[in-house]
Structure 1
Amino acid sequence: MDVEKEAREYYDGPIGYETNAFVKILVVDGCFIIELLRKFTYNDRSLPNDPIFTMSCMQQFLRHDLILLENQVPWMVLELLFNMTMDPEQPLPLLELAKIYFYNIFSNSLPEDILSSPPHINFTDIEDIKHIPDLLRRWMISLIEEVEDSPQTDNWDSSWQPILSATSLVEAGIKFERGTSKSILDIKFDEGKGVLKIPPLLIQETTESTLRNLISFEQCYPKCEHRFTSYAILIDSLINSAKDAEILGKKKILDNWLNPEDAAQFFNKLYHNAYVYEYYYGSLSSKLSRYCEQSWPKWRAALVRNYFNTPWAILSTIAAAILLILSFLQTCEVNLNGGRARQKVDLQTLITTSIDHYNVVSIVVENYVSDCRS
């Protein structure tokens, strides 16, 4: 099978170009992509007025356009053109050039972090790569450090319950932590510590389109793992309001370049009309639900939230507790010294008096702290 005929089979429906015109489009577009990746990787700025590298917004727009499914050049065409134009002084393979160019499409990772990581993608599988979005999917999946869960496939939608929002999870005693994995898909929950680890995600103007195209590819291509669709479902459950987005932002899980309201809407509409027959966070969701049903984490979280959420609150609580103890001892002494004739101390009165003293002292301390902070 010749290259031109094979390339046509990558597209849905007939291509309205005759052979020469179609081949010309593939060659021109393919050579542009390869040259772009090379110049970016090797920091080639031989043309001082090159608008692609002198305009600050151009790289963001180019990355966005290269992810759109309707703009794809088959990967096998890119590989063929790359091998025909190899430079001995630029030894990196096309796969590595693409990884470096798209290194910060989901986060603000440094390119050195990408170069220092091992090539998780098996180079023997390159022939199966369809295009750039497929490469990015495989890359993100390959970077998952440890596969803990097998996907739920048997009627998962009838038994699955969405996890609580970030705000509700915090109230249930769950702590959020910025994950260290290089894949945004690598979300883990430590049930023993009650810590949900989520890798950072950069939210900018082009993030929605990027994720939508990856989800669309999963929906349309047969036997394609629904990894990004599952990710969208999970994050949508976590973020229902601007407050939820703010919680994740404070933990540096969301690097939000939009306002909090737009970030919440962004996730709420991300996977509309998408269907999942393999949900990859089913086990994680079950662990979260079990943890939220426990009482002690909720009480502990409420205690920390109400009395130890700031240094001033801690100081106020400690001071009030000390004064409560002193007040209790003083009340004991007064009652014991004044009531020896009756040989008995009214314990209920003692406790009530001490609590009244505590309430008064607590109000005084809180007012003092408020005055100091203002």
Structure 2
Amino acid sequence: MLREMTNVIKTLEGEARAYYAGPINHSSDDFVKILLIDSCFIIELFYSNANGEGKLENDPIFGMPSMLEVLDHDLILLENQVPWVILERLFTISIGLVCQKTLVELAIEFFRNVYPFTISYQPEDIKHIPDLFKKLLVSSMGVDKFEKKMPYRWEPVPSATRLQEAGIKFRKSKSANMFDIKFRNGVLEIPQIRIHEITETFIKNLISYEQCYPSSDDTITSYAILLDNLIDTTKDVEILRERNILSICMNSEDAVQFFNKLYHTTCVNNFKYVALCKDLNAHCQKRWPRWRAVLVRRYFNTPWAGLSTVAAVTLLILSFLQTFFSIKK
């Protein structure tokens, strides 16, 4: 089997070299050897994770949580990618003969702690692991969500604090897709944002991939820009935390820094949330929602405050009626 796998890589060597931006300064034999070793490691890692075969007490990988975190991080980096065509072909002639799951399913199961992917279809023409993630994320949104090319010009939205002051409410969306952010009837629905150790690496590498690959779109970049708009201060973080939209294990100050440096003013040619931003900004221009929000925040923020306000208004009305009837007599 080793010879068969080596021959497969040799037949795909030219295609594999074309995946990399610059020339590969390795001989044919060395390049094939590198791809063989790296591919076999990744395939065995995914398979062992799914079947529990490597999760023994003294296992050098699964027995060390820190090692798994390092692998999660390194396998997402763009500079560490093995062409998916190599992984798929080697999987087919090896573990694929006895495994009931596809390589895509094994990869998703391994990275489930990074993002809870769901398979709505089997993606085609996968280039590498980050490309697989992007295809899964965008496809699970629905084919018609971002199919219309929106105009480039768009206006940033106010922060979560400013939106709340304008009368907008925040609610955790039931959608499992991170991009499915909706605004309707004065409520901004946002799927839960889970931040852990390698989230920054995950998102930044997908943004880099969008920026470097010609036919890619700007979905991830648009998402990062929108979050940067919404989260500007620690108060913004707390607002989203209180509504269970933001799930993080860091303090509010670090969370602000995290969101503010996600994309570093990266260019975007097709911002995906133009309509959403337009609706939010239009709502903020209305006076009544803003006045109502101020009234609720100042006079009805607690049950006792609400009762006191109602009592005061009632007393004022009774005093006015008493004065009115006294004058009328």
| TM-score scaled by length of structure 2 | 0.89
Conservation of the 8 A alpha-carbon contact between 1:64 and 1:206: yes
Query: Within the alignment, does 1:29 sit opposite 2:38 as a pair?
Result: yes
Any idea what SS the aligned residue of 1:92 has? coil
2:102 pairs with one of 90, 93, 112: 93
Match of residue 232, structure 1, among 224, 227, 247 = 224
CA shift in 2, pair 1:310/1:62, >3 Å: farther
Sequence identity percentage: 49
Q: Does 1:184 align with 2:181?
A: no
Counterpart in the other structure of 1:368: none
Asked if 1:43 is matched to 2:52, the reply is yes
2:55/2:63 contact within 8 Å kept: no
- Following superposition, the deviation at residue 310 of structure 1 comes to 2.1
Q: Deviations over 1:64-107 (max 9, x none)?
A: 1111001101101110111111256530101111122222314x
Shift in alpha-carbon separation, 1:6–1:232, aligned structure 2, 3 A: same
Asked if residue 120 in structure 1 is aligned to residue 114 in structure 2, the reply is no
Q: How far is the alpha carbon of 1:322 from its aligned partner?
A: 4.4
Change (3 A) 1:61 1:317: farther
Aligned to 1:356: none
Residue number among 3, 26, 31 corresponding to 2:12 in the alignment = 3
Q: Which of these residues, 255, 260, 268, is aligned with residue 268 of structure 1?
A: 260
Task: Provide closer, same or farther for how the CA distance between residues 134 and 205 of structure 1 changes in structure 2, counting only shifts above 3 A.
Answer: same
Q: Is the contact made by 1:69 and 1:133 (CA closer than 8 Å) also made in structure 2?
A: yes
2:65 to 56, 72, 80: 56
How many angstroms apart in 2 are the aligned matches of 1:254 and 1:246? 9
Q: 1:146 to 1:15 in 2, by over 3 A?
A: closer
For residue 265 of structure 1, give the secondary structure of its aligned residue in structure 2.
helix
**Equivalent in 292, 299, 316 of residue 308 of structure 2:** 316
Asked if the contact 2:56–2:62 (Cα under 8 Å) also holds between the matched residues in 1, the reply is: no
CA distance in 1, matches of 2:53, 2:313: 67
1:327-366 pair list within 5 angstroms? 331-332=322-323, 336=326, 344=328
The alpha carbon displacement at 1:320 in A equals 3.2
Q: Is the 8 A contact 2:84 2:127 kept in 1?
A: yes
Show the counterpart of 1:216: 208
- In 2, the alpha carbon distance for the partners of 1:332 and 1:153 equals 61
Aligned-residue CA RMSD (Å): 2.3
2:159 aligned with 1:165, yes or no? yes
The Cα of 1:181 is off from its aligned counterpart by: 2.0
Aligned counterpart, 2:134 = 137
Structure-2 separation of matches of 1:45 and 1:246: 40
Q: 1: distance between equivalents of 2:221 and 2:244?
A: 23
CA distance in 2, matches of 1:320, 1:52: 67
Q: Distance between the aligned counterparts of 2:68 and 2:303, measured in 1?
A: 45
Shift of 1:145: 4.3
- In the alignment, is residue 66 of structure 1 matched against residue 91 of structure 2? no
State the distance in 2 between where 1:60 and 1:183 align. Answer: 23
Alpha-carbon shift at residue 17 of structure 1 (Å): 1.4
SS of the aligned residue for 2:210 comes to helix
CA contact (8 A) 2:56 2:63 kept: no
What TM-score do you get using the length of structure 1 for normalisation? 0.79
Separation of aligned partners in 2, 1:6 and 1:148: 33
* Cα distance between partner residues in 1 of 2:170 and 2:78: 34
| Preserved contact between residue 55 and residue 62 of structure 2 (Cα < 8 Å) | no
Stretches of structure 1 that go unaligned for 5 or more consecutive residues are 337-342, 346-374
Q: Which amino acid aligns with 2:264?
A: H
- For residue 364 of structure 1, what is the aligned residue in structure 2? none
Matches within 5 A, 1:269-284: 269-284=261-276
2:264 counterpart SS class: coil
1:104 corresponds to: 113
- State the shift of 1:150 in Å: 4.8
Which of these two proteins has the greater Rg computed from alpha carbons? 1
Check the 8 A contact 1:150/1:280 in 2, yes or no. Answer: no
Q: In the aligned structure 2, how far is the partner of 1:274 from the partner of 1:100?
A: 31
Q: How many equivalent pairs are there?
A: 320
Residue by residue over 1:347-373, the C-alpha shift from the partner in whole angstroms, topping out at 9 and shown as x without a partner, is xxxxxxxxxxxxxxxxxxxxxxxxxxx
- CA displacement 1:149-170 (0-9 Å, x = unmatched): 555554x2xx321111110111
Would the aligned equivalents of 1:152 and 1:282 in 2 still touch at CA under 8 Å?
no
Structure 2 vs 1, CA of residues 151 and 310 (structure 1 numbering), >3 Å: closer, same or farther? farther
More divergent stretch after superposition (203-212 vs 80-89): 80-89
By how many angstroms is 1:131 displaced? 0.3
Q: How far apart are the structure 2 equivalents of 1:237 and 1:285?
A: 10
Q: 1:151 to 1:169 in 2, by over 3 A?
A: farther
After TM superposition, which residue ranges in structure 1, 4 or more long, deviate above 6 angstroms?
A: none
* TM superposition shift of 1:22: 1.3
